[in-house]
Homo-oligomer: A and B are copies of this chain.
Amino acid sequence: MGAAEDRSAADTQGTGPAQGHRRRRCCESGDGTRRGVGAGRGAFVEPALLAVLARSEGYGYDLVRAIEEATGGEVVPDTGGLYRLLRRLEEDGFVTSQWQEGGSGPQRRSYCITDDGRALLEHWIGHLEERRHALDVLIGAARSASQGTRETDAT
């Protein structure tokens, strides 16, 4: 079968939009919520977690609040994801953990960053700065394209 030939819609003319089911678009998903990485928050939680742990040790449930606070509400990790992340970081030697002694209520597992973890945080900072640069460039390109000329210049 012809490659580039079996498209049901859009044959040789512009197609009708054929809307209907509302797919994710930019920051919103079909129902208005922001899901997964679609909102562009990819790889935010790990550095935020390391940053918080670099200041003081803590246990999972509380780290969520600490991260939210430290980032001014910009990073609000999912609890489930945070526990999985902590496990992974521990398996790889970036944090250590132990059950907290005594205290009332459910047991708490307290996490503490290692030297490797601090090194990883430094690595993350450099990476995040690169990302910000890429974002700046992209925003600049998008803004100039949006405000600027249409169709091959026309000032």
Contacts and interface: CB of A to CB of B under 8 A. Distances in A.
A123 interface: yes
Interface of A: 4, 7, 9-15, 17-19, 23, 25-27, 37-44, 46-48, 50-52, 54-57, 70-72, 74-75, 87-88, 90-93, 96-99, 106-107, 109, 112, 116, 118, 120-125, 127-139, 141-143, 145-146, 148-152
Nearest to A121: B146
A13, A42, A44, A87 pick with most chain B CB within 10 angstroms: A42
Contacts of A134: 41, 44, 71, 74-75
Contacts of A143: 125
A127 B48 contact: no
Nearest to A17: B93
A133 B70 contact: no
Contacts of A150: 54-56
Contact of A121 (B41, B128, B145): B145
A120 B7 CA distance: 24
Contacts of A107: 4
Contact of A124 (B10, B87, B106, B142): B142
A75 B138 contact: yes
A84 to B, nearest CB: 12
Contacts of A10: 90, 96-98
